[in-house]
Structure 1
């Protein structure tokens, strides 16, 4: 039997799941290492975004970093927190190919994507609806770190990449066919919604507000003393060049990480409304994004 918010001990660790990517470890470092007075102790699980999306659908963690694209399936059980996530400008997913080309060249082709319930995939599908006559062909889901090698080796015709691949795809001899974020920004004027932080509604409104403040504090502490988080970031960065890790943090941790604000919420609503109109996600209710 699940304990109520009233009977759940404040000292009981909260289960939290996020990726080992530099932006997440940077954001959560202070909280994960007990440097925030009065904050609940987090029991951290590292998992790639496709895994955490599935965990959210199964209700397997108290707090998770997920794709904004998965929200329509989980908002009955989880609340969107107004901080800690990833939105921004100039940080969207890229479509990569072995040779330079144009969007029309993808018609009927095989494209590798990191997840069919990722924000990257929604942005890709909205872009393709506008730019690829007749649509793409087979969609193949691969772990994001396998996508660039698959494109390079000719196993797929193109790949949709995220995260640090923006900075490293040239190392694989690949070309950027299109920037999904650029298309989104040009057509909407809004920032690009990528990753969200969600928490179980059963924790109760007061505790959700406390969690949001804990995450904001962790973000501010990381900004105030970036070197404090460096060991944690590099430990989990999968042998990433420290300079790439710094670029990654600089791109994905910004003012929207501290607070979604009006533009952030508008971006999330805009993405999910357009995706619902294309039949990619279920429609959201009018109050679905309301915080505690």
Structure 2
């Protein structure tokens, strides 16, 4: 099996046992560590490995070629993307250039929904760059603002940046649902029941013995401290990682239905999606 996910602590924590031969039936797993913009692009084109971590915002573009698993992803509360700037004046949004981690990321989709609600008729210019490059670019003044994800919520003050808005807080207050960030998808024809069971076994093993997993997490943690890595895991690995459940499914439907109604993503066939899942 070929799988692609990010080197971020939440993904490496969840998949450690699966990719290291500790889960029965998954003895030959080949991993590609890829930025979310890469996997979103592969999914939209129907390319890439048979199993991938993508943004939920990219799911409508991938649904014809991939099935969604109801485990292994990232949903939660208090963990949404942040819009960061050096200053807080929002009066000239039409002149702003904002760096985003992917034009099909949930972060960018949330930003577009928020912008439509808060700044009618105003559209900022957007440039895509790897998420780890965004805060340094804002700090240097290469871009006016940055939309950040992952561990950036713990470190943005180190770059002298200010939080303009927490889009996760906005989403939760507006909808009452958790934030659907990342999803695990598998090419149609994959045994998703077996794969879901393997992911849950891997996650359970990580929860039961986290210290065994941390060397692998830190090997891929892109120079962040172990303290930050553990905070990242605590925030993004939760009950929704084990199973979306009815609350998680409602959150996904709210996000993508609302976005489709605004013409931002293609419409989804929800009955077809949920009826296939483990």
If the length of structure 2 is used for normalisation, what is the TM-score?
0.95
Q: Which moved more, 1:220-229 or 1:30-39?
A: 30-39
Helix, strand or coil: the match of 1:233? helix
Q: Secondary structure at the match of 1:38?
A: coil
Larger Rg: 1
Aligned-partner SS, 1:85: strand
Q: CA deviation at 1:104?
A: 4.4
Answer yes or no: is 1:143 the counterpart of 2:130. yes
RMSD between aligned alpha carbons?
1.3
**1:233 maps to which residue?**
217
Deviation at 1:109, TM superposition (A): 1.4
Mapped pair 1:253 → 2:253:
no
**Superposition pairs of residues 143-162 of structure 1, within 5 angstroms:** 143-162=130-149
Residue correspondence of structure 1 range 175-214 to structure 2 within 5 A: 175-203=162-190, 207-214=191-198
Q: 1:261 to 1:282 in 2, by over 3 A?
A: same
Deviates more, 1:115-124 or 1:281-290: 281-290
CA change 1:66–1:153 in 2 (3 A) is same
**In 1, distance between residues paired with 2:93 and 2:214?**
40
For residue 54 of structure 2, the aligned residue among 66, 89, 103 is 66
Quick one: distance in 2 between partners of 1:161 and 1:265? 24
Matched, 1:36 2:23: yes
The unaligned stretches of length 5 or more in structure 1 are 1-13
1:283 aligns with 2:270: no
- Report the secondary structure of 2:264's partner residue: coil
Counterpart in 1 of 2:155?
168
1:78 is aligned to 2:66: yes
User: How much has 1:103 moved relative to structure 2?
Assistant: 4.7
* Alignment correspondent of 1:274: 258
Maintained 8 Å contact 2:19/2:26 = no
Aligned length in residues: 275
1:84-132 residue CA offsets vs partner (Å, 9 max, x unmatched): 0000000000000012x25545343111111110111000101111122
Q: Answer whether contact 1:103 1:131 (CA < 8 A) is retained.
A: no
Matching residue within 193, 201, 204 for 1:217: 201
2:248 matched residue in structure 1: 264
Deviations 1:220-279 (A, max 9, x none): 110000011111100000111110000000000000000000010111111001111111
Q: Distance in 2 between matches of 1:40 and 1:210?
A: 13
Q: Where do 4+ consecutive residues of structure 1 move more than 6 Å?
A: none
Question: What corresponds to 1:89 in structure 2?
Answer: 77
Query: What is the rounded CA distance, in whole Å, between the counterparts of 2:235 and 2:265 in structure 1?
Result: 27
8 Å CA contact retained: 1:104, 1:133:
no
Shift in Å, 1:201: 1.4
The 8 Å contact of residues 94 and 125 in structure 2, kept in 1 or not, is answered as: no
